[in-house]
Each structure stands twice: as C-alpha cells, then as structure tokens.
Amino acid sequence: MPALLSLDASTETLAVALSQGERVWASETAGGAQASAQLLPEVQRLLREAGLRLSDLDAIAFARGPGAFTGLRTACAAAQGLAFGADKPVLAIDSLMVVAEDARAQGARGLAWVLVDARMGELYAAPYLLDDAGCLAQAEPALCSPAALLERLAAEPAATLVGNGLPLLGEAAGGAPSIPLLASRAQALDRLARAAWARGEQLDAAEALPVYLRDKVALTTAEREQRAADAALSAP
C-alpha cells in the first residue's frame, strides 16, 4: 500500500491527510486566509505523528479545484514544492468529488449533485454517480447561478443534493434529499487519493495545475448594485 500525503485548501477548512497502509492521520483546521501559514506546519506535525519522512512518501495529492482562489494556489504550490524537493509525483483531485465521496461514505447512493458556495451569489456544481465502488463524475464542474442550476435539476431524475451551497437554492430545492455537512473532508480526500494512485494517475510535479473556473474573486460596487437591482425586479 502506498504512503500518500493529501492537501486541500479549496474551502474555509484546511484538510490534510497522511496515509500508509490502513493507517490514516487526518487534520482539519481553519483555512481561508490562514491556510498558507497553517499548511506546512500541519504537514510536518502529521509526518512526526506517523513517524515518516517526506522521502518515505510515494506521492503527494492536492485538491485542484474548483474552490477558493488563494486556497487553490496555496495547496498546489505546496504540493509542487514538496514533490519537487522529494522527487515524488503528484495526484490532482477534483475538489467537488471530495464532497461527493464524503456523501457516499455517509450512505448516499445514485445520482448526487455537489453544490459548493462560490461566493458572489454563484455555485460550483457538478453531478456524480455514487455506488459502493466509489464516485463517477457525470460532467465537468461548472460555475453557475442558483437559477440556472434549478433549471438543470428540474430536468434530472431525483438526486441527492450535497454541499455547503444548498442554502443558495432556498426553498426551491423542495424536498430533495440533502447532505449539507461533511463528516470528514480529510478522510474523503485520502480515499480519493488512494483511488487515483491505484488508477495510475500520477503526474510530474510540473504538471500540477489548479482549476479556477473564475477569473475574478470579487464584484465591483457597481456590479453588486446591479445584481441587487436585478434581484429586486425579479422578486414576486
């Protein structure tokens, strides 16, 4: 069994997992603006706790996105730096699939839509098929408005909705089954990293790239005012 280090700073939670064989050491701490300062100390702490050195690892996985712009750069840069230094490959993990895998571990099966709050009134969303064997992506992650996603969901068969973006749908989500909270982001990330390793998805560190989906991280004052006006006009 491989020894894998996995990093995820794509959300407000910084998740780090280290696994060797059946043993898993996991950490979940405050991310966001603190991720860049917290990440490497957490890596060092888990390595000490496991009694491993960086050179003992087989690969370093990172959540590639979509997600928080700065967090994605932080995790990608850390994975690249550690991989270059130890001459190890990297594994790039779909951030939304981490949420889907956690829902699967909580018992969700069949079609699941992952909805992650992308800020500025938008969502990162993607559908996954969950079964006992794992998660299978049904489409690439996309950035969309709640209204556009609701139109898509109306045409889909019954699906479980998972992720912290659920509140953006409001009451329109109706009685669809939902799992808004993750049990363990770090554990889900580790399971996906192991699966990626088993499929032979190792990359050279130079090929590690984040997936942004958005080229801006905040609305201007004028854009915020326009959105508020549009929302007022469309309100019943």
What homologous superfamily does CATH list for 3-95+185-207? Answer: ATPase, nucleotide binding domain (3.30.420.40)
- pLDDT value of residue 220: 38
Domains 3-95+185-207 and 96-179 agree in fold: yes
- pLDDT value of residue 24: 97
What DSSP designation does 158 have?
A: S
pTM to 2 decimal places:
0.88
Tokens of 122: 């938008």
**236 residues of the chain, pLDDT tens digit each:** 899 999 999 999 999 999 999 999 999 998 877 788 889 999 999 999 999 999 999 999 999 999 999 999 999 999 999 999 999 999 999 999 999 999 999 999 999 999 999 999 999 999 999 999 999 999 999 999 999 999 888 887 678 999 999 999 987 776 778 998 889 999 999 999 999 999 999 999 999 999 998 754 443 344 344 444 444 444 44
User: What CATH number does domain 96-179 carry, 1.10.286.10, 1.10.275.10, 3.30.420.40, 3.90.700.10?
Assistant: 3.30.420.40
CB < 8 Å & 24+ apart, contacts of 179-183: 179/103, 179/106, 179/108, 182/99, 182/102, 183/102, 183/105, 183/106
Q: In the chain, where are the structural domains located?
A: 3-95+185-207, 96-179
